[in-house]
Structure 1
Amino acid sequence: MTDLKRSLQDKSRAPPNGTLVKAFQQFFTARVENPGAINLFQARLLSITWKHLKALQSELEDNEWQDVFSVESLERMLFVISEAHCLPEARDTILKVARFAYLELCADHGFGPNSISRAALLLYINLVASNGNPEEARHVIVKFGGQLRGAKPSPWLNVLKGFALKDDRRQLRKIASELQEHGVKFDQASHEELIKLMISQNLAKAVQVAYECPINGDQAPSVAAKTAAIRYAILNSEVAWAKPIFESLPQDLSPETIGIKLLWDAAQGHSASSLAEKVTQPLKAALTIADVNNLIQYANTVPNSQLAVDFAKLAERWDLVPDERTNILLLESFIQAGNVERTLELLEHKIDTSFLASQHLALANKLITMLCLSEQKDELFQQISSLLDPLFQDNVQLTAETIAALTHMLLYRHDWEAISDLLRPRLGALDSEGKALIRNELTNFMLDKGQTDSDVWEVYQLFKLAFAEAGVDVRTELMCSLFDRKRSDLAVLVFGHMRQAEIRSRRPKPDTYARCFQGLARTADATNLELVHNMLKLDLEVELNTRIFNGLMLAYAACEMPEKSMEIFRQILQSDEGPTEKTIPIFFKVCERHHNGAQEAIKMMAKVKKLDINIDRRLYTSYIEAVAAQCEFELASEAIDKMQAEIGVPPTSTTIGLFYNAIPYQYWKDEVEQWALKKYPELWAHLIETPQSEHEEGQKFDGITNEVWV
């Protein structure tokens, strides 16, 4: 299907019909048991392939036609689309695909038009109503009213749900009042059924809108509907809108309302012991373990792990036996609190991990994520593996957060093959935000200075395959981190991969070149400097600017090619943009190595003063280093003596250290020491505490640099 998309774009030959039919059919047959998620890329492929096969259906073999256009195949399409998690950006496209299937089922294939089954109609009605088009769902119900009569639950509930999701109260009231015309009565029971439908699908805002929908005959909602709405509001931190509903309940404690009133009190901040005192012996018999579970669930919404434990203890006080849900809610509480010890204890004694994975997938995802990010992740590896085995075996969709946590754990276990096996089948099903979580894990690992060069490069190979769409910013950051590791060879490879990108937006920008030249300057890599400079000359998409020229100047100077740097400086002078404030300090760096560097530096400083350019500490110090590097002891020491008068700030121990480091030969360094002891004894005393190391041109103070940036 991807090949078809590409062939339509470049007008090349499309894949064979049989191949496309098989791909289209397998997309849906593979998802019948586990629908998973459908992203925008997949939805577009389905839409393109359907249109292509529809246009060529007369050319298909009988078995090929059956695999796409038979009733069985079309109903399978609707089932998978209705059950799958459709990512928001894919919703409009996938609804079009569902409509293709619906219209095909309604078409006349020799048995008359509109011979679509009730099951398919109900799937389509629920699908469009739940995804922003309740008007279409209403139209379908009216059109096929006789065929849908007696369906339980009534498809009209889905239409009401759709308008509630859209917060369209006017249409909601209109539909509710018109239902009687269609043989449906919106009474207390229907209202209660609608509320419970919303709650079962966790449609928070829609619950409130649906509750306010008027009931035929101006009846009040049932106590069961009120209780369900209040409970849902409390457990979803929406207590304010439920307050009038709660106040409409009978004020006396009764077996019918004891559970919801305890939950309400808990939401008002009452402790477990306070709730226990409210329950008299006659009312105790009306309580169930579900009431205790609701209290624990509320504690989890706060979240407050200790409160959850306190509420759980009420079960014993009220002679109730904890059930499976009690243990699951406690597990959720311990996971929220990051309490690995209590979590493992509960898993060992009270919860079947295979059941957890199959019946409580969202919680299983949170559990795996917590264990993977735990400081004890190595010790917990077997426990994590046992949780994952049934999920992998059933090809269950993991959340992006879980995949990211697993990636994190496997990265720090240096298990590259396992990372590849984890990501290869799952990345395609994630949206852009989900992919970003995983990409960030790989990126953070590569930027971790505690990792070896070889491990970073292994992960980069994975990154390159998994995130081919990664932008220039991310790749530039990786390139710079490799320069920081003194691995300019690898950094330039990353740069080269950007240059080879097929999509223009992923190719190097002027900033990328500038930062690459900055890195080459820091590593003094002449070979790769020539290579990247040649790439720049051939790159017609990049407009040369002073920042790139600054980088080239700095890099050629660092690679002992000051004449080349001077040539580039002349190009800057002749350009429309001209020099920037960073060009002059770089020029002084060039002067450190140029055969006529001292004279060039003196002339430049004279021009700077004449043109009234602001001279800050960095620029002035760069001048001192330039003349010192040319063994101009008198010029450098005189500049330091005049520093306060020239730029308004005094020299520091760092200024003296830069002078000492820049001047070559130990003889001159000793002269600097004698001069500093005499003129700046306090600064020298502070400087001498800095560690020194031996270099080819003599001793240098470690960590004292005046690095200039492009």
Structure 2
Amino acid sequence: MRSQLTRNVYIRLLASHASLRPCSPLAGRCLAVALRPRQFPLITRRQPRRTFFGIFQKPPRMLKEPDLEPGYEVLLQFRSFEVENARPPPRADLLKGWRQFIQYKRRNQNRPMNSTQAFLTLRLLQHLVSADPEAEGSVDDLSFTDLRAALLVIATRPPKGTTEHHLELAQLLYGEIERRIQNMRGQGIDEELIKEAVGGKDTGDFELFLTALTQYGGSLEAAQRLAQFRGSLESDKKGQVARVRAFWTLVLRGLAKEGREEELLQEWKKYKEAKLEYMPPIHEIMSTFFATRDRVDETKQWFEKPIHAKWSPSPRAYMEAMKFAIRNGEQRWLQPVFEKLINSNPQKDWWDVIFQWAVLVMDKGVEDIKQMLQVMSTPADGKEGPKPDAATIDALITAAIEKKNPYLAERFLSLGTELKIRPRASTYILQMDYRLDAKDFGGVHAIYEKLLKGEVTVPQDEDLPVVNKYLRALCAAPEPDLGRILDITADLEQRHATLEPETVVSLCMLFLRNDNQYDVIDTLSLHTVSYSLEERVQVRRAFIEYCLDRKVSTARVWDCYSLLRQFFPETEPDERVRLMDAFFARRRPDMACIVFGHMRGQGNLAQRPTADMYVRCLEGLGQHPDAESLRMVHNMLKMDTTVQMDTRLYNALMIAYAASEEPDVAIEFWRDITNSAEGPSYNSLAIVFWACELQPYGDRTARGIWQKVLKMDLEVPPDVFWAYCGALAGSGHLEEVMRLISGMDATVGYGPGLMTLGVTYNALPGSSKKDQFEAWARAEYPDIWAQLEKKGRKETIMGTKFNIVRDMKA
């Protein structure tokens, strides 16, 4: 059964209007967590009314509930209380939720703990180990078993994406185990009793800890811990050699994974000085490290280095050597390596690598492989040779996929049938993979049906990656089969499978294009609830890009934005500003300002608009006026105590009010600017002159300002000058503005330009004055007027105007 949480519970946990808050700067990281519940529905719908005829109608579509993992709700709730500095839930409830979550992760290996879940688990564990259980009225406490179970989950199930919090969690878990052991020793408790309390003589905690360190970027610490461990061993304990070798292998593999060549070679030197043998795992680590980096000489040196007891390199070492040789043209070096392997009568796993070498390097076909299979099965030294199995067929199909040859892959599959080898789940998965590459959707679906009917057992949801790939391919088809897509997603829902972020993006984009908003809601509800922040960002950005696509209709974009706002309240302010700009570009200032209002209403101060964002919104209203939206934004600004008024904000308000045909209000802000300590800028002058152009008798105000500019002997930029010309022309002072333009060289030190003549012409009232100005300008400045004519004209309510753009900026 799915989680019985209501829709509103889901909103409260992950997608509430209260938003996912980042941690404070003191925390040193950023994570989204849900805040206190707020009673807002996900989608506003009318209350249904029952009528007599309504009984024959279909019931309304019910939204699917999110599939929260057991205990995860408690982790989210604790973090929300922690962020708000509120009293957390009772310790017993926190312990129960923490244990539920860890046990669920331990049972479900296909659902590793992602970075967000690791952080939430870490924060709750820090609270549990720092607080006194007795002081909180609880006798229950985390046991060694609880801590070890969490360490096992962390060490053996690495996730995709960032793992910073996994490393911290592993360090805290092991540190708490060690702290408790030292406390018992400090109390004088006998070692045998301590071992019994811990859970046995050798619980494997140290090995789990080293595994976690080397998986999550802590290999240097792992090397230090290993040195301490070796120092604590008694010299006569020879049985510890195997453990030390295993631990050292972990450390070397971790250093190689992190690309620490210098430290890797230093640790290898210590390993050799300890007189430990050069075993196949060590050979694999060292040769693979240089092979993957295409270091030819070093790769050959480490691969050819004799292994202890003349053992063969591991199959993976041979595979990496083969890939290295193909990339670097070293097939001649590889030839004797594999010939020696073949002559050594290898075991079955090595033969599977040999077959891949034959296909990829030697370009062998099916008939050649048949002969090699006979050689493999030939008895040697009185022992029967290994027989091909499903793993052999998988290896051959994998090689064909590497060669991008689906036909060859099909022939290898037929070879398995000919040899009466029953395909396993991995064989079907590979078959789906190469058929997808060949765009054979019919063949892919036939295989999927076989898996669905249970012809083979699929362990640990191994088919999920290829099913995700199948869904993405169906969504990307020229004519997507929506029915088949919905059937597959329904099957996955029954399996409680979580789709990959890329697949969720493909599905949601398809549903949005087909106006299937309910399917978008269901997809987001079922899958994004357990995503890490990085995975949520991936889906969120796809929604934002959809909203920014000018080819999409405004109605669909608004629907998409509504879903984005509901499911991704952690959307960054700069992303919201991009959405606001997109609605302004669509000439929908009302929608743009609603987006801005949603940003203003965020509970998290870091997500609220800054002064620059207010300016950007008001500038948008200057280009696309809307009086009602302007009033709303201005009221927000008045009530926003986090924003201090300055010249830029006043300039933006002047722009917006002047564009909304309220120049009187705009000029009032000019007076606020002149009375402020900061004073006006050149942009302020250009804007106020524009407002004067729009205001009846605005020339009186403009002349006063102009006289002050001249008295102060300021350098006048061209945009300020032509704005002043527009202010005079707007009141019909034709002769005066012509004299002003004629005397420009003496007044401001430069002559008129295209905008000087264009702004003046557009501002003049009536066709008579425009005609007089045109005749004068055409005669006085023929070249400039010719350039202006190329811009073209348009008829407006205020008369003929040139197609010039005055881009007012605060």
Could you tell me which of 572, 590, 615 is aligned with 1:471? 572
CA 1:281–1:253: 2 relative to 1, 3 Å: farther
Partner residue of 1:482? 583
Could you tell me which of 555, 560, 565 is aligned with 1:459? 560
Task: Please give the residue correspondences for 1:86-101 in structure 2 after superposition, counting only pairs within 5 Å.
Answer: 86=159, 87-99=162-174
Cα distance per residue 1:32-73 (max 9 Å; x no partner): 3434243444334323433444444447999x838x5373x4
Q: TM-score, normalised by structure 2?
A: 0.68
Cα distance per residue 1:239-266 (max 9 Å; x no partner): 4598897377277896779987896798
Cα distance per residue 1:99-122 (max 9 Å; x no partner): 267559969799722343567546
Shift in Å, 1:514: 0.9
Cα distance in structure 2, aligned partners of 1:248 and 1:85: 38
Cα distance per residue 1:603-623 (max 9 Å; x no partner): 66677688463644x555544
Could you tell me which of 663, 677, 682 is aligned with 2:764? 663
CA 1:382–1:592: 2 relative to 1, 3 Å: same
Cα distance in structure 1, aligned partners of 2:503 and 2:325: 25
Cα distance in structure 2, aligned partners of 1:605 and 1:367: 70
Cα distance in structure 2, aligned partners of 1:318 and 1:16: 63
Contact map agreement 1:28 1:77 (CA 8 A) in 2: yes
CA 1:375–1:651: 2 relative to 1, 3 Å: farther
Contact map agreement 1:549 1:568 (CA 8 A) in 2: yes
Task: Please give the residue correspondences for 1:132-531 in structure 2 after superposition, counting only pairs within 5 Å.
Answer: 132=218, 133-135=221-223, 136=225, 157-166=249-258, 167=260, 168-175=264-271, 178=274, 186=277, 188=279, 191=282, 219=308, 222-225=311-314, 228-235=316-323, 239-240=327-328, 246=334, 249=337, 285=374, 289=393, 292-299=396-403, 305=404, 308-309=405-406, 312=409, 315=412, 328=429, 332=433, 342-350=439-447, 352=450, 354=452, 358-372=461-475, 374=476, 376=478, 379-424=480-525, 426-427=527-528, 429-531=530-632
Cα distance per residue 1:123-169 (max 9 Å; x no partner): 45533443325344676798799999999995664354334435423
Contact map agreement 1:126 1:137 (CA 8 A) in 2: no
Contact map agreement 2:322 2:334 (CA 8 A) in 1: no
Cα distance in structure 1, aligned partners of 2:306 and 2:553: 75
Shift in Å, 1:557: 1.7
Shift in Å, 1:552: 1.3
Task: Tell which deviates more after alignment, 504-513 or 625-634.
Answer: 625-634
Could you tell me which of 544, 553, 558 is aligned with 2:645? 544
CA 1:380–1:504: 2 relative to 1, 3 Å: same
Partner residue of 2:35? none
Could you tell me which of 153, 157, 176 is aligned with 1:80? 153
SS in 2 for 1:501: coil
Contact map agreement 1:520 1:529 (CA 8 A) in 2: yes
SS in 1 for 2:194: coil
Could you tell me which of 113, 119, 130 is aligned with 2:215? 130
CA 1:213–1:26: 2 relative to 1, 3 Å: farther
Contact map agreement 2:158 2:215 (CA 8 A) in 1: no
Contact map agreement 1:591 1:601 (CA 8 A) in 2: yes
Cα distance in structure 2, aligned partners of 1:280 and 1:7: 64
Partner residue of 1:112? 193
Cα distance in structure 2, aligned partners of 1:277 and 1:15: 65
CA 1:542–1:25: 2 relative to 1, 3 Å: same
Cα distance in structure 2, aligned partners of 1:493 and 1:509: 16
Contact map agreement 2:394 2:430 (CA 8 A) in 1: no
Contact map agreement 2:658 2:691 (CA 8 A) in 1: yes
Contact map agreement 2:122 2:168 (CA 8 A) in 1: yes
Cα distance per residue 1:638-661 (max 9 Å; x no partner): 777889998878765x87765554
SS in 2 for 1:114: helix
Identity over aligned residues, as a percent?
A: 22
Task: Tell which deviates more after alignment, 417-426 or 544-553.
Answer: 417-426
Cα distance in structure 2, aligned partners of 1:639 and 1:409: 61
Task: Tell which deviates more after alignment, 8-17 or 586-595.
Answer: 8-17
Task: Tell which deviates more after alignment, 75-84 or 546-555.
Answer: 75-84
Aligned length: 676
Cα distance in structure 1, aligned partners of 2:241 and 2:267: 22
Cα RMSD of the aligned pairs, angstroms, is 5.2
Gaps of 5+ in 2: 1-74, 345-349, 377-391
Q: TM-score, normalised by structure 1?
A: 0.76
CA 1:248–1:40: 2 relative to 1, 3 Å: same
Cα distance in structure 2, aligned partners of 1:556 and 1:406: 43
Task: Tell which deviates more after alignment, 529-538 or 436-445.
Answer: 529-538
Shift in Å, 1:382: 3.0
Contact map agreement 1:292 1:314 (CA 8 A) in 2: no
Cα distance in structure 1, aligned partners of 2:294 and 2:465: 22
CA 1:23–1:237: 2 relative to 1, 3 Å: farther
Shift in Å, 1:95: 0.8
CA 1:80–1:313: 2 relative to 1, 3 Å: closer
Gaps of 5+ in 1: 181-185, 300-304
CA 1:638–1:326: 2 relative to 1, 3 Å: farther
Contact map agreement 1:4 1:15 (CA 8 A) in 2: yes
CA 1:535–1:206: 2 relative to 1, 3 Å: same
Cα distance in structure 2, aligned partners of 1:43 and 1:621: 61
Cα distance in structure 2, aligned partners of 1:587 and 1:223: 85
Partner residue of 1:582? 683
CA 1:557–1:18: 2 relative to 1, 3 Å: same
Cα distance in structure 2, aligned partners of 1:624 and 1:221: 94
Shift in Å, 1:347: 0.3
Contact map agreement 1:161 1:206 (CA 8 A) in 2: no
SS in 1 for 2:806: coil
Partner residue of 1:22? 96
Cα distance in structure 2, aligned partners of 1:466 and 1:24: 25
Task: Tell which deviates more after alignment, 248-257 or 461-470.
Answer: 248-257
CA 1:125–1:635: 2 relative to 1, 3 Å: same
SS in 1 for 2:106: coil
Contact map agreement 2:359 2:365 (CA 8 A) in 1: no
Contact map agreement 1:562 1:590 (CA 8 A) in 2: yes
Cα distance per residue 1:71-94 (max 9 Å; x no partner): 3x4454334333433442212222
Cα distance in structure 2, aligned partners of 1:348 and 1:523: 51
Cα distance per residue 1:253-280 (max 9 Å; x no partner): 9677998789679878x9x5xx569969
Name the aligned partner's letter for residue 629 of structure 1.
G
